[in-house]
Structure 1
């Protein structure tokens, strides 16, 4: 609480509350937006994909820019572009214009990632993984709040655009705070390196070609795992498990609850000395086991429990933990390596949906595909763990965070 960057971090977390809303605000308003943009639901789906394309093409570049020009610039730019995205999507009257604003929204999201993750690691050098995992909690809260808000609006026959307006108001207040009051650490590699080596003394340097490829594979699989479950778990419940509509939709709620609870558990265990690399291994193994059980035993009770477990293990901050670990491998290039991993996850967000669409005639195959992704991700995690112990030495030689 004595950290001078705490007010700035609150502003960054609020940004990611809106990021959580932005992920689902277009799907939640598909019918209204299709009418406004003079297109079909397929056209709206193209706009949603355009967000991922914008993020995919710019993630690595934005990471390099973050290391070169500082975190403040990328965070402010990302917030401004996110404002433009919300306003543009709400005001557009054509499909092509909406696609253009969606691409800008994806670029804004990439800029926010490349600036926010490294900034939080530098603001809280003794609690880097916790600072990043809390971002995931705010994303989950945003995704939890928005459907409830839209449901209330539908019941009261209110204009769908008020959800966009709410996000714009929060972002406008936040951008004012970022320009007027926010304080950021000095973006000096020596400072960053000192902060990291103070907690994880490095015995061997990280190798971009080895470690970078491993984390890129992890980023792809980790993003694909939770993306497939969050999109297809309702359909899986309806068609494979034979749950009614209400029960199937509730699987998403259990999934989101698992995500939020995981953040709290991770923070609690981290303060008691559990290391980031241990979280990574445990969560990926849990995801693999849970998805396998979900596929093999499609009953209502098992599906409900496993939806919660997958949300806990795959969507509760495992990606943020991985980013923190990789940043410790390369302390002088946090923005660049963040861009590398988020590029891989952005590719996943686009391609796994294409693969899943090809399997849509049998939803069970999509869950089996997710099991395959989890298996690949777990193998990558084993190799990352081996590299981690090679670079930083045996666990007994590492300094453990104080409770």
Structure 2
């Protein structure tokens, strides 16, 4: 049951993630403007995105620890202000080096926002934390769908592209002030204990050391490692699409800049629809472990069609399907990991998100290098290879799931979807 007194705080938190949806694709959406302004190329812009991942990777763990110690509010407020600094600074940056520094700060802001917001939502709505957190993904998709439309409006009216940075920065700042004045929920509030099955492990290490003939117990070095790798493959596909889809539309299909930006709108509409579909189907009909196999199969077909059919209509359909089938895979991977290793949810979440952060750091640089020495189609061929790897991993995880958990086992795990 949701507490009405928590709604004002939750409103501010959701506004942050609506803005984060814009923030997350800001550099990719302004690729042509920024290459000229910063005197660099597309590989340079991908390096900026990688710098954001670097800042997030090296502050994610410590920000979570400090958030538990000092409270959620300071980190959420500071995150909003740092994101505003980044958004104002990038269009006004005098050099590429300064932009790199700002991008690292943006990564720090990202880790602060995540480490403060998700615990705050769970503490605000302890009886319905799954519903509270699933809305985050929806607000991100709304923001990401709105940004290209705002950029197109500014382009059509000859307005300086920096205003699409400045407007979210202003709202981030005002929202930080608003949240600073709010009373946050008690950190001591705990969410209801989730149901777990008959099989659990006392530690991650114990799961990895179980005897080979004991096929009914979770094994960290088998399904655990596969799920961690899925924490890399899922975000890799997401970042390839968010970073390079407009470029793909222009260079491979021959779209105009405004037409290619609209592909991100269709992608995020598909992602938003997926959130609501998952909330419905996961309650009664499908398990999370099945979705992490079904969705990659759908996205593989969509990526193949995107490369096969060089038309604007096909690109729109494929972008929507890709957005639908990528959304939520990372979060459901965490849910499945928690089922296998129910006694170490925090520890295994750290493992998966470390793989995710590595993806955010490595993939932008690698794809930028790939594009510098090849064509944009090679980047999406990489996406297909990663997609196939994800399917192979998911097949093995489903096989192990059928052994560890009997078919008659009834479990409705709480689904927590977020930004990655």
TM-score, normalised on structure 2?
A: 0.78
Q: Alignment partner for residue 375 of structure 1, among 388, 397, 401?
A: 388
2:20 paired residue number: 19
3-state SS, counterpart of residue 157 of structure 1: coil
**Distance verdict in 2 for CA 1:244–1:75, change over 3 Å:** closer
* 2:361 is the counterpart of 1:364: no
**Distance verdict in 2 for CA 1:281–1:148, change over 3 Å:** same
1:280 paired residue number: 292
Which stretches in structure 2 are left out of the alignment for 5+ residues? 209-219, 416-420
**Distance verdict in 2 for CA 1:80–1:386, change over 3 Å:** farther
Q: CA–CA distance in 2 between the matches of 1:94 and 1:23?
A: 21
Q: CA–CA distance in 1 between the matches of 2:19 and 2:62?
A: 23
**Distance verdict in 2 for CA 1:196–1:372, change over 3 Å:** farther
Across the aligned residues of Structure 1 and Structure 2, the Cα RMSD in angstroms comes to 3.6
**Distance apart, 1:264 and its partner CA:** 2.1
Q: CA–CA distance in 2 between the matches of 1:243 and 1:99?
A: 31
3-state SS, counterpart of residue 378 of structure 1: helix
Which stretches in structure 1 are left out of the alignment for 5+ residues? none
* 2:142 is the counterpart of 1:141: yes
1:305 paired residue number: 317
Contact 2:292 2:332 in 1 (8 A): yes
**Distance verdict in 2 for CA 1:102–1:336, change over 3 Å:** farther
1:347 paired residue number: 358
**Distance apart, 1:218 and its partner CA:** 1.1
Contact 1:252 1:307 in 2 (8 A): yes
**Distance verdict in 2 for CA 1:96–1:216, change over 3 Å:** same
1:289 paired residue number: 301
**Distance apart, 1:107 and its partner CA:** 0.8
Q: CA–CA distance in 2 between the matches of 1:46 and 1:147?
A: 22
Q: CA–CA distance in 2 between the matches of 1:81 and 1:380?
A: 37
Q: CA–CA distance in 1 between the matches of 2:318 and 2:77?
A: 39
2:199 paired residue number: 203
**Distance verdict in 2 for CA 1:234–1:69, change over 3 Å:** same
2:216 paired residue number: none
Q: CA–CA distance in 1 between the matches of 2:343 and 2:75?
A: 17
3-state SS, counterpart of residue 181 of structure 1: coil
* 2:175 is the counterpart of 1:174: yes
1:40 paired residue number: 40
Q: CA–CA distance in 2 between the matches of 1:387 and 1:179?
A: 47
Q: CA–CA distance in 1 between the matches of 2:246 and 2:21?
A: 19
Contact 1:129 1:324 in 2 (8 A): no
Contact 1:67 1:336 in 2 (8 A): no
**Distance apart, 1:224 and its partner CA:** 0.9
Give the alignment of 1:245-264 within 5 angstroms. 245=256, 250-264=262-276
Contact 1:117 1:338 in 2 (8 A): no
Q: CA–CA distance in 1 between the matches of 2:403 and 2:127?
A: 22
**Greater mean alpha carbon deviation, residues 63-72 or residues 345-354:** 63-72
Contact 1:220 1:348 in 2 (8 A): yes
**Distance verdict in 2 for CA 1:258–1:181, change over 3 Å:** same
**Distance apart, 1:204 and its partner CA:** 0.6
**Distance verdict in 2 for CA 1:64–1:249, change over 3 Å:** same
1:218 paired residue number: 230
Q: Provide, for residues 324-370 of structure 1, a one-character-per-residue CA deviation record: whole Å limited to 9, x for no partner.
A: 44456667776655444333223223323344345432443332321
1:63 paired residue number: 64
Contact 1:290 1:306 in 2 (8 A): yes
